[in-house]
Amino acid sequence: MKILLIEDEKDLLEVTRDYLLKEGYEVTTAMTGIEALNKFKTDTFEFVVMDLMLPDLHGEELCRLFRETSDVPIIMLTAKSSLEDKINGLALGADDYITKPFSLRELIMRIKSISKRVYKQTSNDALAFDHNRIIIDKNAHTVLKDDEEVYLTKIEFDILLVFAENPNRTFTREQLIEITMGYDYIGYDRTIDTHIKNIRKKIEDDLKDPRYVKTVYGVGYKFISKDS
C-alpha cells in the first residue's frame, strides 16, 4: 500500500516514515501543503496520513482539496484535541483523527482497520483491478464497480472475464467468438462490437475515452490492467 505522509516536523516525519516502511508500506513524504498537493496530483496513493498544522496551507483546506478529486482514506494528526476540532476534521472528509503525541503502533492499527474496511479483501476466485474499483468474481459470476454490482449478460460476463484473465492481450473478434460462444457459432463477427459497447456502458466512466476495454484498430480489443 502506498501512503502519502504529510508532516512539517522533520524528526517526527522521519520516525513515522521509518516505522511505516518497517511495516511494509511504501511511503512518499511531504513537509508542506503545496508539496503534498503536487505529489497527490501526479501520483496515486491508497492512504494519506497528514498533519493539520502546516506552514503554508491549513490541513483542513488540504483535506478539502483532496476530497474534490479522491475518496482516499485520510487520517489527520494534530495537537488540536477539542471535540469541535475533531468533528470539523471528520466533517471535511477525514476517516480518522489522532491527537499528538500519538503511538506509532496505534497509527498502524488504525491504518489497517480503515484499509480492511475500504479495500475489501477479495477471494482467490476474484480478479481485482484499478485499486479494487473493478472486481470480477469468477465463481459467483458477478462484477462490482466501486462496490456496486454491475449486471452483465452471460456473454458480456464471459467476454469481460476473458479480457480480465489476459490483461493487455489483444483479441480479434473471431477469437472472442470462439472462446465465449464456441466454434459452431453462426452469426456476424460484428456481434462482438455490440457486446463490447454494452460492457463499456456498464463499467466505463467515459465512453469516448474508455479506461479499461480499449479498441486496437484493425485488430480487435484488449483489456488494460490497472494496478490493484
Binned at pLDDT 50, 70 and 90, residue 81 comes out as: low
Nine-digit cell at 136? 470480477
Predicted pLDDT of residue 57: 86
Contact 216, 119 (CB under 8 A): no
Class of the 2-118 domain? alpha beta
Whether pTM > 0.75 for this model: the answer is no
* Euclidean distance between CA atoms 115 and 104, whole angstroms: 16
* Euclidean distance between CA atoms 117 and 137, whole angstroms: 19
Instruction: Summarize pLDDT for 181-194 with one digit per residue, the tens.
Output: 765 444 555 788 88
Contact 22, 104 (CB under 8 A): no
Start-end of CATH 1.10.10.10 domains in the chain: 126-223
Using the CB atoms, write b or e for 77-90: b if 16+ within 10 Å: bbebeeeebbebbe
Instruction: Summarize pLDDT for 141-188 with one digit per residue, the tens.
Output: 889 998 888 888 888 999 999 999 998 999 998 888 888 876 544 455
Instruction: Summarize pLDDT for 117-132 with one digit per residue, the tens.
Output: 776 554 456 888 888 8
Q: Which CATH architecture has domain 126-223?
A: Orthogonal Bundle (1.10)
Start-end of CATH 3.40.50.2300 domains in the chain: 2-118
Residue range 46-55: average pLDDT?
A: 90
